[in-house]
Structure 1
Amino acid sequence: MASAPLHRQRTWLKRLHTRLLFTLLCLPTAYATEQLNYPLHSDGIDPETYALALLTAALERTPGRYQLQATPVPMAQSRALLAIEHDSKSVQVMWTMTTREREERLLPIRIPIYRGLIGWRVLLQRRAAAEQLATVRTLNDLKRFSFGQRHDWPDTAILRANGLQVVTSQHYQGLFQMLAAGRFDLFPREAVVAWQEQTRAAANGLELSVDEHLLLHYPTAFYFFTSRNRPDLASDIERGLEAMIADGSFQRLFQQYHGATLRQANLQNRRVIELHNPDLPPATPFARKELWFQPQELK
């Protein structure tokens, strides 16, 4: 009879040993760092450093363990979108302007990473035509000008939907040369990059200036996007961003990267021309006022 308890004890120890062995075998996987590839943008100036800093900070506030890595070569938006849609190993996360189609194909994290600032545009122009917009008051006044855009940017469709003439290019860098050569009149740019782009253009011998009078605005958002097969990753990014909003670090990072440029842009004193965005997804979180930038913040 004494052997029965001993047998049960040995059986229990054997099961415990098996469970411990299984746990140890799982530990490397459970605590492994997942590499997240994001598409390297064109070799032009791009507000990529801010988005990358924001994503890095957000992921540091999540239980997941991730390491961000750019693709080896620049990748066009259209190609990156396709890679994420098909859950390719080449790209797992990207940031781009939202559209109805993009939200159907990919999984958006609906927190606007630029606080909607991407929809506030100043205008690059030829320096010789610096005062051409001084008398513009309405959208109808703008229709006598032509606008440059890259062919796969959502802004192209927005401008055309508002009755504006758009000239497109396959290449980002080529747009500055086309503007300088008079192929089109105006190049709407994000306020956070326009002056950097003008400086770089000048270094390349292009005489461009940033208009001081107008501010185009259309409602839109830049989001982080993942594959629809990665709700776990999307949830981690969203959780991290919400934590940053709650502790104020989101706003501090935004000001750190963009505050000085926005004050230079003098957005609050420009004439605003509103454009409608027919491709704006209905789930855009406009009810959350804390997520959105307004030029009045600069007063």
Structure 2
Amino acid sequence: MKFSECHKYFHRISKLIVAVSVAFGCVSPVFSSEAVIRYFPSGTIYEYRWKLLELALAHTNDMAKPLQLVPFTENVTQNRGISLLEAGDIDVIALGTNAEREAQLLPIKIDILRGIVGFRLLVIRAADQERITQMDDISLRKQLMFGLNSQWADLPIMRANGFSVVTSSDYENLFVMLAANRFDAFPRGLNEARRELDERKQNYPQLAIEKSKALYFPYPVYFWVNKNNVALAKRIELGLNRSLADGSFRKLFESYHAAEITALKKEKRKVILLDNTILPAGNAKPDTSWWWPKSKY
């Protein structure tokens, strides 16, 4: 049996054990989730999201048993991850919102990234720094080709705002394509760009972060669970609200993004504001005040 198959088998057996235990009164039916919570996506740029979930769950241990967080480590696309959440093989995902996801899944509508992922720096070829610095808003749209993952929710936002975009379903391949002149700029969140380049500087020494511009669109990121897992959703929501109230949420956010917040304060970037054309009704725009005061836009 493959490693991934073993994980799935264990996960389903765990569910069965919990269900039987609840039925016979061995455990409380309140928040009757598995002892193991499998999450997606995983990787270094997502570490903060799962530390925040860990913090939120710890804030509810007074009313429910502790839950162990385990990454779902198979290399799957976002769409596949969503399908696995619906099937019960993943318990929690952390992604941006759109109408399709809100129809399929149950979001906990507390923006876990405070809008920071909607502030996009441009990863480019270093040789293009001067050329792009000279461009205005119109030139960016007319002269540059951008690259994005075909399954990311920000793809239609970029296109609706007049940007030309080529796509790949493989995240890592986008760095290959940029280095090979297949497109000109790879927009990455303020919390992502520098870390991603640092991890790949040996393979792509010709890539750099553009110094003069940034894009911004309101883009809340939520934790999501299966539509039937209302108990887990309520537990996460309660834990996030408690961590907001005692300041530990903000403290964690600032500890993970201190370098980016400091750099942003020193830089003089022209920020191009975009409309989020896919933000469903009922979603508040992110409060960026922890890292980017509202007076800036």
Q: Is 1:54 the equivalent of 2:52?
A: yes
Following superposition, the deviation at residue 140 of structure 1 comes to: 5.4
Identify if the C-alpha distance between structure 1 residues 292 and 78 changes in structure 2 by more than 3 Å, giving closer, same or farther: farther
Aligned to 1:167, the other structure's residue is in SS state strand
1:135-157 Cα shifts (integer Å, max 9, x gaps): 23325543310000011011111
Question: In the alignment, which of 282, 290, 295 is matched to residue 292 of structure 2?
Answer: 295
Matches of 1:112 and 1:232, distance apart in 2? 19
Amino acid at match of 1:61: H
- Provide the rounded CA distance (Å) in 2 between the counterparts of 1:209 and 1:219: 25
Contact 1:115–1:293 at 8 Å: present in 2 too? yes
Q: Deviations over 1:37-68 (max 9, x none)?
A: 11244xxx652110010000101111233221
Runs of 4+ more than 6 Å apart: none
- TM-score w.r.t. structure 1 length? 0.83
- Pairwise mapping of residues 1-299 of structure 1 onto structure 2 (< 5 A)? 26-28=25-27, 34-41=35-42, 46-62=44-60, 63-65=63-65, 66-84=67-85, 86=86, 88-139=87-138, 141-266=140-265, 269-286=268-285, 289=287, 293=290, 295-296=292-293
Amino acid in structure 1 at the alignment position of 2:292 = P
TM-score normalised by L of structure 2: 0.83
Unaligned runs of 5+ in 2: 1-20
Give the greater-gyration-radius structure (CA): 1
CA distance in structure 2 between the partners assigned to 1:156 and 1:101 by the alignment: 14
Secondary structure of 1:27's aligned partner:
coil
Q: Match of 2:53, SS?
A: helix
Structure 2 vs 1, CA of residues 146 and 58 (structure 1 numbering), >3 Å: closer, same or farther?
same
What is the CA-CA distance between 1:83 and the residue it aligns to? 2.0
Q: How many residues align?
A: 270
Q: 2: distance between equivalents of 1:268 and 1:282?
A: 34
Q: How far, CA to CA, are the matches of 2:248 and 2:171 in structure 1?
A: 32
**CA shift in 2, pair 1:127/1:268, >3 Å:** closer
SS of 1:91's partner is coil
Q: Amino acid of the residue matched to residue 73 of structure 1?
A: E
Q: CA deviation at 1:260?
A: 1.6
Gaps of 5+ in 1: 1-21
Q: 1:54 to 1:298 in 2, by over 3 A?
A: farther
Contact 1:137 1:271 survives alignment (8 Å): no
The aligned residue for residue 13 of structure 1 is none
RMSD: 2.5
